[in-house]
Amino acid sequence: MSDPRADRRAFLGALVGSSAALAGLTWSDVAASWQAAAPQREAAHPGFTSFTRAEAAELEAMAECILPGGERPGARQAGVIHFMDHWFAQQGKGAVADVRKGIAALGAAARRRKPGVRGFAQLAEADQVAVLEGIEKDAPAFFGGVRFATLLGMFSDPGHGGNRDKAGWTLLGFEDGYAWSAPYGAYDRG
């Protein structure tokens, strides 16, 4: 986006309402979150407004488990947590409280699996996957909501607070541009 304020103007008329439920969240929730993401463009991720640092660490670990980094960037490198911090705050009707409850349950499940750990973020990857499989089954709304937010934060325009340094686009091999010319791909000549 070359001019975030112009985007914001174009967007304001379309903020309200939608029932296209996906993973327990709605398209309009997604839309509403965009507004909140705007101030982040000025502030370089100074901290968290919806979550404590400990909660953010748990949520970030969960996002990284959903989209782990490897040869390409994952959710942590993309700064998805900063997108989610603002985004969940815009969902209304106690969305942040629901997510915080989910994070608490995630931590409890982690401690059940490995007594003595502080939380999910301290688990080894194999244990995280096992715990998350349980969460997916037992708390599908929480899991689905965080997965959806992870994908939005990973792949939407960096202007919304996630996809830092276009990390999500690097994973997909996507480039945003306003003009392209040949060669386009490996098959241009058949």
Partner 1 sequence: MPAYRDDDAVDFVVVGVGAAGGIVVKQLAEAGYRVVGLEGGPWRKTEEFRHDELSVQFGDALTINATRSPGRFRQRETEPGRPQPVAKYVEGPGGGSIHYAANLWRFREVDFEERSRKGAIAGSTIADWPIRYADLEPYYTQAEYELGVSGAPGPQDAFRSRPFPVPPLEPMSIGALMERATTKLGWTSQAAPMGVLSQQYDGRAGCLRCGWCWGFGCEVGAKASTAVTTIPKALATGRCEIRTECRAQRIAHDARGRATGVLYRDKDGTERFQRAKAVVLCANGAETPRLLLLSASGRFPDGLANSSGLVGRNVMFNGGPWSFAHMPEDVNAFKGPVATRITLHPYELDGEGLQGGGGFDFRMNFPPTLSVLGFAPPGRGWGRDFARSLVDHQRRLVIAAGHTTQLPQASNRYDLDPEIRDPWGLPALRLTFQEHPEDVKMYRWMQARGKQLLEAAGAARIWGDPPSESDEPFLPALHLLGTCRMGVDPATSVVDASHRAHDVPNLFMVDGSSFVTSGRGQPTLTIMALAFRAGAEMVRLARAGALG
Report the amino acid identity of residue 65.
C
Residue 189 contacts partner 1 per CB under 8 A: yes
Stretch that binds partner 1, among 3-11, 43-51, 98-106, 111-119 (CB under 8 A): 3-11
Instruction: Give least dist CB 107 to partner 1, A.
Output: 19
Tell me which residue has tokens 């900063």.
82
Alpha helix (H) residue ranges in the chain: 4-12, 27-37, 53-66, 80-89, 95-113, 125-138, 140-155, 167-172
Q: Which of residues 37-66 bind partner 1 (CB under 8 A)?
A: 65-66
Residue 153 CA to residue 42 CA, distance in Å, equals 18
Residue 56 CA to residue 31 CA, distance in Å, equals 22
Q: Which listed residue (42, 71, 115, 116) binds partner 1 by CB under 8 A?
A: 71
Asked whether the beta carbons of 36 and 89 are under 8 A apart, the reply is yes
Q: Which listed residue (19, 42, 93, 116) binds partner 1 by CB under 8 A?
A: 19
Q: Which listed residue (74, 79, 102, 145) binds partner 1 by CB under 8 A?
A: 74
Residue 126 contacts partner 1 per CB under 8 A: no
Residue 27 CA to residue 32 CA, distance in Å, equals 9
Phi, psi of 79 (to 5 degrees): 70, 30
Q: Which listed residue (80, 84, 152, 167) binds partner 1 by CB under 8 A?
A: 152
Instruction: Give least dist CB 174 to partner 1, A.
Output: 4
Stretch that binds partner 1, among 15-23, 40-48, 90-98, 102-110 (CB under 8 A): 15-23
Q: Which listed residue (5, 15, 101, 118) binds partner 1 by CB under 8 A?
A: 15
Residue 79 contacts partner 1 per CB under 8 A: no
Report the amino acid identity of residue 26.
T
